Amino acid sequence: MIAQLTGRVDALSDGTCVIDVGGVGYLVQASSRTLSALPQPPAPAKLLIETHVREDAIVLYGFADAAERDWFRLLTTVQGVGGKVALAILSAMSPRDLIGAIASGDKASLTRAQGVGPRLAVRLLTELKDKTGAMPTSAAGVSYTPIAAATPADDALSALVNLGYRRPEAQQTVARVLERLGDGATLDGLIRDSLKELAQRAAG
């Protein structure tokens, strides 16, 4: 399971973002709070991830910090609260607001979240009233990790791995091609010559 993504923000849209990790773009669903904290592409960022595996898809949910992730996990234990509704609740209310609403039985605040009607709000209050004592209330914000600029060799390696080649084999091939072409090697040249060498080796 994917637990964390560290890479670059490739795209931001309503309810989702794309995080590029080594040339692979991961579509991540997130609350409006997390999305608003992310920088504009292509800045580096790190998100905590909760992976849900369904029959028809693998869905990644991203969080600014452990507090939001832990609340997501708790909310989805309630019958009728899936990932989409849990994110809607976290978009409408902070962890601190959630604790206050549940402690005071504030059904009206919960129904501000899209997808939460009066009946579901009552269920949330009933099922969570004894479970919020140890829940975190603060959010430290999205973590940004400085990432060194990728070299043509790094990008070539990522491209070969994405094409299905094993990383050790691809890494050795790119290193040989880079040594042959020199420091001025371009990404296109590295990929082209590496693919040629790999094909020749496969042909025996």
At 23-55, the pLDDT tens digits run: 889 999 999 989 988 888 888 999 999 999 887
**Residues above pLDDT 90, as percent of the chain:** 43
Residue 146 pLDDT greater than 50, yes or no = no
Q: Which of 6-20, 71-85, 100-114, 180-194 shows the lowest per-residue confidence on average (mean pLDDT)?
A: 180-194
Q: How far is CA 122 from the centre of its chain?
A: 31
pLDDT band at 152 (very low <50, low <70, confident <90, very high): confident
Q: Phi then psi for 12, rounded to 5 degrees?
A: -130, 135
**Is this structure's pTM higher than 0.75?**
no
Cα–Cα distance, 62 to 51 (Å, whole number): 9
The CATH number assigned to the domain with range 152-203 reads 1.10.8
- What fold characterizes domain 66-128? DNA polymerase; domain 1 (1.10.150)
Mean pLDDT of the chain, nearest integer? 86
The two domains 66-128 and 152-203 share their CATH topology (first three levels equal): no
Cα–Cα distance, 145 to 160 (Å, whole number): 25
Higher pLDDT, 15 or 136: 15
- The residues, any chain, with a CB within 8 Å of residue 49's CB and separated by 6 or more, are 2, 3, 4, 5, 28, 60, 61, 62, 63
**Which is the CATH superfamily of the domain at 4-63?**
Nucleic acid-binding proteins (2.40.50.140)
Domain spans, the chain = 4-63, 66-128, 152-203
**Torsion sign (Cα): 92, 94, 96, 99:** positive
pLDDT band at 120 (very low <50, low <70, confident <90, very high): very high
CA nearest neighbour of 36 among 55, 66, 64, 2: 64
